[in-house]
A and B are shown apart, each in its own frame.
Chain A
Amino acid sequence: MLSARHLTVMAGQRRLIDDVSIDVRPGEMLALIGPNGAGKTTLLRALSGDIDAACDAVSCNGRPLRHIPAAELATLRAVHAQHQRSDLDYTAQQVVALGRFPHHGGRPGADDRAIARAAMALTGCEAMADRLCSTLSGGEQARVHLARALAQIWRGTPGAHFLLLDEPVAALDIAWQHRVLACARDRAHSRMTGVLAIVHDLNLAARYADRLVLLADGRIRADGAPFEVLQSAALADAFGLDCRVWIDPHTSRPLLMAEPAA
């Protein structure tokens, strides 16, 4: 389990994250939702171990991040950041193979290359394998970096492992938005990976996540099954929306229609 307990992150006098406790559970897909500036990316970075001051309040499989060496942590959790360098002169395949770096520490072996290819198949980038990343579109690059994150935690190391995705579908077309979130959910269910994904489209989040966590002003305002969270007053309040929720008879998932509150 990847957990934060009473996590507070300050920037000067401002509380970006204010006394947040959250668990990312193996085998569960969690979508983190919330308005712009709510602190979603900050929370994800704290859970990733990026924020030094937060490394005592965050623990992975029971050990505070402070006590897990970076090289070991890299075999336990992979991170997909929202912004990636767009001028890389490495080929897509080389970039995905870099996801295996924590496992080989130097040069990728045959095994690592096989995993890289399999990860690329999952995000549909096999055809771009030999193209330079700098020549790919934004959405294609996002899929390459997703494949890199998948390759990083491809095989369950002993103990649970985690996938942290910051807006993984922001640059993708609608078909790939569905495919990528379905893929993340399947990794969670079939490989006992704990997935946390920041998703702006609430219907997409509700369609694929097992649990929604609503963050606003650095605090958790709602945490529960998609249907409950979409219906909550907290959601309408956080976004300033008038919401109507019903169930899609086809998927049995909640659907939200919303407009700005009068």
Chain B
Amino acid sequence: MNLRSVELPRIGPPAGMTLWLLAVALIGAVVHALGSGAVDLPAATVVSALLGQQVGSDADLVIWTLRLPRVLLGVIAGAGMGIAGAAMQGLMRNPLADPGLVGVSSGAALAAAAVVILGERAMSTGGWAASALLPLTAFAGAALTTALVYAASRRNGRSSVTLMLLSGIAINALAMSGIGLLLFMGSDAQVRQFTFWTLGSLAGATWPGVIAAAVAVGVALALLLRKAGPLDALALGEAQAAHLGVAVGTLNRACVVLIALSVGATTALTGTIGFIGLIAPHLARRLAGPSHHMLLPASALAGALLVVLADSAARTWVSPAELPIGVLTALFGAPFFMLLLRRRAAQEH
């Protein structure tokens, strides 16, 4: 018997059932979020408005134009960060990988902020091309930083936790100084947006944005699910996965692109909401087990659930003012990360 690690078996019901339970919990959280705000609406009213039985009423207006885009953006952003975190942990074979911690979200935020501040004229011309510019640049920023972190954290064909976290610190610092420089050049109004990029917010949700993010995250999830088997094999190590017939180079590149797609699309619309990509996959792994067939959808549901709950709390705790959602996720996420670090240190010694 070895004493290096404490056995942490999967808890709860069978993995398939877990997905349904998470989905039910998410629906409950969504209904609750739609009902709470400046005007509290009972769950029955929310449901009947959603079913289109309240057309023309105030509740209908509040839910369909004000709250639903915001809550759905939360669902999609949470799902996107959840799968990006799960895929990154699988790709790096490292449970501490998180797109936010290693600087991928900051990279996306820097690229998006650059477009907002430098490309103001291009944006103001309006139209689909302009609205696509922001997510596309955020995607490019995310892809660049993912590839950078991935390359920087590898040594002798293996991915090192220490190198990954340290290069993440460097990339985060670089991206933040870049954002700071842009703010220095920006107007007062743009400076006020600073908190949006660093602490995140769902307040800017619009239907076109929600649909664009849904498409990006949906595509990323669908394509990552097809990589679930290879990602499981990759857990054994790159050489072992290659012995099992996995085209490791192709898999790595595909994961980098899909993580970037997911993070880029969500960051462009919500700013950086930290730690969801770290916590959601851990929660999912405990509930649904390590196999990526279950882990990826479970991480999407867990991420969505966490963001919707965090946004509800952010909107209502100091009402009528609003807490930045990233403050809340960091408040819970940072201690959680410390806990993981300690547990890992205990395993290594």
Residues of A within 8 A of B (CB): 48-50, 70-75, 78-79, 81, 84-85, 87-90, 94-95, 98-99, 101-102, 104-107, 131-132, 134-138, 152
Contact = CB atoms under 8 A, between A and B. Distances in A.
Contacts of A90: 232, 235, 290-291
B2 A78 contact: no
B243 to A, nearest CB: 4
Contact of B246 (A72, A78, A101, A132): A101
B6 to A, nearest CB: 8
A101 B235 contact: no
A73 B245 contact: yes
Contacts of A95: 236
Interface of B: 1-2, 4-5, 7-9, 93, 95, 226, 228-230, 232-233, 235-237, 239-240, 242-247, 285, 290-291, 293, 347
B243 A74 contact: yes
Contacts of A73: 245
Contacts of B237: 81, 84-85
Nearest to A130: B9
A131 B7 contact: yes
Contacts of A102: 244-245
A137 B237 CA distance: 19
Contacts of A70: 242, 245-247
Contacts of B347: 87, 134
Given A70-B246, A70-B247, A136 B93 contact: no
Given A106-B226, A132-B9, 15 more contacts: A49-B242, A73-B245, A74-B243, A74-B244, A88-B236, A89-B285, A90-B291, A94-B290, A95-B236, A101-B233, A106-B229, A107-B229, A131-B7, A134-B4, A134-B5
Please provide the 7 A-B residue pairs with the shortest distance between their CB atoms, ordered closest to farther: A74-B245, A71-B245, A106-B229, A79-B243, A102-B245, A101-B244, A135-B7
A50 B39 CA distance: 64
Contacts of A134: 4-5, 347
Counting chain B CB atoms within 10 Å of each CB, which of A72, A94, A106 scores highest?
A106
B244 A99 contact: yes
Contacts of B4: 134
Contact of B7 (A94, A99, A132): A132
B245 A98 contact: no
A98 B232 contact: yes
B40 to A, nearest CB: 43
Contacts of B290: 89-90, 94
A105 B229 contact: yes
A48 B5 contact: no
A85 B232 contact: no
Contacts of A84: 236-237, 240
Counting chain A CB atoms within 10 Å of each CB, which of B228, B230, B246, B247 scores highest?
B246
Counting chain A CB atoms within 10 Å of each CB, which of B232, B243, B244, B293 scores highest?
B243
Contacts of A75: 245
B102 to A, nearest CB: 20
Contacts of B245: 70-75, 101-102
B309 to A, nearest CB: 26
22 contacts: A50-B242, A70-B247, A74-B245, A81-B239, A81-B240, A85-B93, A85-B237, A88-B236, A90-B232, A90-B235, A98-B232, A99-B244, A101-B246, A106-B226, A106-B293, A107-B229, A107-B293, A131-B7, A132-B7, A132-B9, A134-B5, A134-B347
B86 to A, nearest CB: 13
A162 to B, nearest CB: 12
Nearest to B226: A106
Nearest to B347: A87
Nearest to A90: B290
B244 A98 contact: yes
B88 to A, nearest CB: 16
A135 B246 contact: no
Counting chain B CB atoms within 10 Å of each CB, which of A72, A73, A74 scores highest?
A74
